Amino acid sequence: MRQLVLLKDIPDLTEIIIDSERRPKTEGVKRRISDLDKRALEAAIQAKGKVGGEVAVLSMGDDKTKTALLEALAMGADSAYIVIEPNVKGVDTNATSKVLEAAVRQIGEYDVIISGEMTLDSLSSQIGPRLAELLDLPQVTYVKEYELLEGSVRAVRDLETMDEVVEAPLPAVVTVVREINEPRIPSLMNIMKAKRKPQTIWSLSDLGLSLAEVKAQSFVKIKDVTAPLVSRKQVKIEADTIEEAAAKLAAAIREEGVL
C-alpha cells in the first residue's frame, strides 16, 4: 500500500504582520506545512501503522520547501518528491494541479493520494478535486475518519448537517478536514533521521513541462491583497462605581445593536 500525501508549505500565519498600507508582510517569515495537509500526513502515517506500506510526500515550491518538508519526513513519511521552480510562484490552482498531475504520473505507483481539504493561505479547496479529475480517479472529500481496506478506502465525510460513510475503490483521491486528528510532534531522534531519508528534486523540464506552458494554464490573477479596514469608535466609559460603569457599558452595547 503506497500513500502519496500532497503538502504545501506556507508562511507561518502567526508571524505575519500587517503594514501601514494594510498589506501583509511575509518577507523573512518562517515557512511551515499547511495545517490541514499535516493532518492528512498524520492520517496516512496512522493508516500505514495498520496496513503497512509506504508514505511519500509531494510538494511544489522552491529551495525553502525542502527545509519545510523535513518536518514531514521527521513525522514518519518515508520519502519526499519536490518540484522546484521559483518562477512559477503565484500560479492558480489550475496550473498547480497540472504540475502535480505530471509529478504523480512520474512517480507512477500509488494507491491513495491524500491532502488537506484546503490550504490555509488560499482556502480554495480545489487542488484535490482538480487532480482527481485529471487522473480520472474517484475522490472522497471532507473526510473526518479514514481507513484503508483491501482494494478500497472507507471514510466518514463531514457534511455539516450529517455524517456520510462512503467506500471507494483504489486508487483514489482523499481530502481531509481538521477534525480527523491531531498531528504528532516528531522526536529529536526522528528529526535527525529525516535528513537521511530520500528526497527527489524535479524541475518542470524533468516533468516534460515548460514555465511558459504552466503560466499559460494559470487564469486567475491576484491584483492585490489587503487587510480589511477596521475603524474603532473609541467610546470611553466614565463612572464613579463599577456598577455605574457596567450599566453605562450595557447601555452603550444595546445602543450599538449588539444586544
For 178-223, write each residue's pLDDT tens digit.
Answer: 999 999 999 999 999 999 999 999 999 999 999 999 999 999 888 8
Domain ranges (residues) in the chain: 2-216, 229-259
DSSP letter (8 states) at residue 126? -
Q: What percent of the chain has pLDDT over 70?
A: 100
Distance CA 130, CA 220 (A): 15
With b meaning 16 or more CB within 10 Å and e meaning fewer, what string describes 67-77? ebbbbbbbbbb
pLDDT digits (tens, 9 = 90+) for 161-184: 899 999 999 999 999 999 999 999
Q: Which three cell numbers stand for residue 42?
A: 498524520
Tell me, rounded to whole angstroms, the distance of Cα 259 from its chain centroid: 38
Of residues 171 and 15, more confidence is placed in 171
pLDDT over 90 at 227, yes or no: no
pLDDT, tens only, 22-63: 888 878 788 889 999 999 999 999 999 999 999 999 999 888
C-alpha cell recorded at residue 154: 472507507
Given a contact cutoff of 8 angstroms between Cβ atoms, the answer to whether 32 and 10 are in contact is: yes
Q: Residue 156's pLDDT band (boundaries 50, 70, 90)?
A: very high
CATH number for the domain whose boundaries are 2-216: 3.40.50.620
Residue 160, pLDDT > 90, answer no
Say whether pLDDT at 259 is over 80.
no
Contacts of 174 (CB under 8 A, 6+ apart): 40, 112, 113, 114, 115, 128, 139, 140, 141, 143, 146, 153, 155
pTM: 0.85
pLDDT at 45: 97
Q: Specify the pLDDT at position 190.
A: 94
